[in-house]
Amino acid sequence: MADHELTKKVKGFYNDLVLSCDFVCNVNEPDLTEEERELVKKLHPETMKRYYGSGLAIPSHVEGCKILDVGSGSGSLVFVLSKLVGPKGHVTGVDITPNLTDISRKYTKYHCDLWGLSQPNIEFHCGNAERLKEDFGFKENSFDIIVSNGVLCLCPNKEKVLASIYSTLKEGGEFYLNDVYGSRQAPEEYKDDFKFWDLGLTGSQVWPEFGESMKSAGFTTPYMTMAGPVDVSDEYTAKLQGAKYVCAGHRMFKLPKGAHRGPAKVTYKGNIAGHKDEFKWDVDLTFKTGTPMAVDAELATILAFTRYKDCFDFEDVTATITKRAQNPFTYLEELAAKGKPFPYIYEVK
């Protein structure tokens, strides 16, 4: 099956960018744990020189898990996750760019040796995210967790990508997505402009389009884990009629068929590695170890039917409301108003 013309242009753009190394994104360090920050610092410099992402999407409680990174780029996230899943886990990276895939493979042994792994728990493949089964041979319900970082905004057929991800994710599995979002639709004359598309602007989803697309694909309502602004120059902003852009992270789940429980008072046990005293679920909710917290039926169901089921004690309660589907634009405005502006993830100049 032939790739979309925009996909071919994105592939060529990033294939050349690998060689010039004249563009790099910032890592969302404020959202990472101390351990995660230290792991990122240890990554090979040639890997991070080619980091093009929307903030690292690092899920917790992953030891022994089988993880897929859709759009793995130079392998930065795969290498971090390979340490966190340990020797019993496995991480697969897929990317459409041959040069990035080659760079990832080149430094696989370096990072496995760095983490003290006697056998590699990493593999990289080149192909299209719209065709996870066709290009890579992945079967349905193959992965415990699927992550993606700054890729969906570059895909013309998002519905096909999400359907492909949903199919290959196990029931009870987590989809941990970081991507670029716009405050409004791009003007029609720029929607297929390669420059705007390559940098994740005109291909990005807008609010509330994102939440609706996740629901249509079958996922639970997204919980926002991070947000950071994209610095777009006045020249580009004028052409895009004042549109603003942000990078935001979300976690959502593929619940088993028929999975349901009512609202509950949940108590975090403190047994997730690196989160002894508390576990940050999203930008609005942090579970304190030993402290009961009421959550609504959807979140109680997620905690009870996913890999987190052994991390909480449950007690039935009457109806309560848990915040979700947060708007990253509003969130960043609130941070700025409090004098806590988040640093730019990347610049478009």
CATH of the domain at 160: 3.40.50.150
Q: Which domain holds residue 196?
A: 5-258+326-348
Residue 105 has pLDDT above 90, yes or no: yes
Mean pLDDT of 37-45: 93
pLDDT tens readout for residues 207-225: 778 999 999 999 999 999 9
Residue 15 has pLDDT above 70, yes or no: no
User: Which of 82-86, 250-254, 319-323 is the least confident region?
Assistant: 319-323
pTM reported for the whole predicted model:
0.94
Shared-domain flag, residues 161 and 288: no
Residue 24 has pLDDT above 70, yes or no: no
DSSP state of 216: H
Number of domains in the chain: 2
In a domain, 321, yes or no: no
Residue 265: predicted pLDDT: 97
Shared-domain flag, residues 182 and 290: no
Shared-domain flag, residues 292 and 167: no
Residue 13: predicted pLDDT: 66
Question: Quick one: angle between helices 5-20 and 98-106, nearest 10?
Answer: 40
Shared-domain flag, residues 291 and 175: no
Q: What CATH number does the domain containing 295 carry?
A: 3.40.5.100
Residue 56 has pLDDT above 90, yes or no: no
At residue 23 the predicted structure's pLDDT band, cuts being 50, 70 and 90, is low
Residue 17 has pLDDT above 80, yes or no: no
Q: Where would I find the beta strands (DSSP E) of the chain?
A: 66-70, 90-95, 122-126, 143-149, 169-182, 205-206, 223-232, 245-254, 264-268, 278-280, 286-288, 292-295, 312-316, 346-348
User: Which of 69-78, 147-156, 195-204 is the least confident region?
Assistant: 195-204
In a domain, 268, yes or no: yes
Residue 9 has pLDDT above 90, yes or no: no
In a domain, 292, yes or no: yes
